[in-house]
Chain A
Amino acid sequence: MLGFQSRHTGGFIAFLIGILSLVTILYSGGVGETVAVALLLAYILNPVVTRLEYRGINRGLAAGLLLLGVLGTGALIWLIVSPIAAQQLQSMNTGNASAQAHRIVDNVQNFLDTRFNYLGLAKVDLNLEISRFKADMAERIPAALLESSISFVIALVMIPFLMFFFLKDGSQIKRYFIGLVPNRYFEFAMDLLYKMDTQLGNYLRGQFLDALVFGILTTIALWILGVPFFVYIGLFAGLANLIPFIGPIAGASLAAISVVVEQGDLGRVWSVIVAFIILKLVDDFVVQPIAVGKTVDIHPIAVALGIIVAGHFFGVIGMLLVVPFTGFMKVVLEESVQTYRKYKFD
Chain B
Amino acid sequence: MTTPWDRLLGARVENGQRKPPFTAVLSRVPIFENLSKHELASIDRILHRREYLPDEIVFRQGEPGMGMYVVQTGKVAIVSEPQNQQLYEMQEGDFFGEVALLDEGPRSATAVARSSCTLLGFFQPDLFDLISRNPRLGVKVVLSVARHVGVRLRQADDWVTALTVELEALRKKHTRHEEG
Q: Does B4 contact A (CB under 8 A)?
A: yes
Instruction: Render B1-35 as a binary contact track against A, CB cut-off 8 A, 1 for contact.
Output: 10111100101000000000000000000000000
Give chain B interface residues in 110-133, CB to chain A under 8 Å: 121, 123-125, 129, 132-133
Say yes or no: A187 contacts B66, CB within 8 Å: yes
Contacts of B45 in A (CB 8 A): 172
Dominant secondary structure at the B interface? mixed
Say yes or no: A343 contacts B64, CB within 8 Å: yes
Q: Does B52 contact A (CB under 8 A)?
A: yes
Q: Does A114 contact B (CB under 8 A)?
A: no
Give the CA-CA distance A53 to B64 in the complex, in Å.
31
Say yes or no: A183 contacts B50, CB within 8 Å: yes
Give the CA-CA distance A271 to B125 in the complex, in Å.
50
Say yes or no: A187 contacts B9, CB within 8 Å: no
Contact of B63 among A179, A187, A194, A197 (CB under 8 A): A187
Q: Does A342 contact B (CB under 8 A)?
A: yes
Which of these binds chain B: A9-17, A163-171, A239-247? A163-171
Given the interface pairs A54-B133, A183-B56, A343-B64, the reply to whether A190 lies near B123 with Cβ below 8 Å is yes
For B113, give the chain A residue with the smallest CB separation. A183
Min CB gap A276→B, angstroms: 39
For B3, give the chain A residue with the smallest CB separation. A169
For A52, give the chain B residue with the smallest CB separation. B133
* Number of residue pairs spanning A and B whose beta carbons lie under 8 angstroms apart: 69
Instruction: Render A172-216 as a binary contact track against B, CB cut-off 8 A, 1 for contact.
Output: 110110110001101100110110010000000000000000000
Interface size on A, residues (CB 8 A): 27
Min CB gap A342→B, angstroms: 5
Say yes or no: A190 contacts B62, CB within 8 Å: no
Given the interface pairs A54-B132, A171-B129, A190-B125, the reply to whether A183 lies near B48 with Cβ below 8 Å is no
Q: Does B46 contact A (CB under 8 A)?
A: yes
Give the CA-CA distance A165 to B60 in the complex, in Å.
37
Give the CA-CA distance A50 to B135 in the complex, in Å.
11
Contacts of B102 in A (CB 8 A): none
For B49, give the chain A residue with the smallest CB separation. A179
Give the CA-CA distance A344 to B125 in the complex, in Å.
21
Contact of A191 among B1, B51, B66 (CB under 8 A): B66
Say yes or no: A171 contacts B46, CB within 8 Å: yes
Min CB gap B112→A, angstroms: 12
Q: Does B134 contact A (CB under 8 A)?
A: yes
Give the CA-CA distance A184 to B51 in the complex, in Å.
11
Give the CA-CA distance A279 to B57 in the complex, in Å.
57
Instruction: Render B132-170 as a binary contact track against A, CB cut-off 8 A, 1 for contact.
Output: 111100000000000000000000000000000000000
Say yes or no: A50 contacts B64, CB within 8 Å: no
Contacts of B11 in A (CB 8 A): 172
Min CB gap B101→A, angstroms: 12
Give the CA-CA distance A69 to B130 in the complex, in Å.
25
Give the CA-CA distance A178 to B51 in the complex, in Å.
14
Contacts of A343 in B (CB 8 A): 63-64
Min CB gap A161→B, angstroms: 11
Say yes or no: B63 contacts A183, CB within 8 Å: no
Q: Does B59 contact A (CB under 8 A)?
A: yes
Q: Does B99 contact A (CB under 8 A)?
A: no
Say yes or no: A54 contacts B63, CB within 8 Å: no
Given the interface pairs A173-B9, A187-B66, the reply to whether A344 lies near B132 with Cβ below 8 Å is no
- Given A173-B5, A186-B48; 9 other pairs, CB 8 A cutoff: A50-B133, A54-B132, A165-B3, A165-B4, A171-B129, A183-B50, A184-B57, A187-B66, A342-B63
Closest 5 CB pairs of A and B: A194-B125, A176-B9, A169-B5, A187-B66, A53-B133
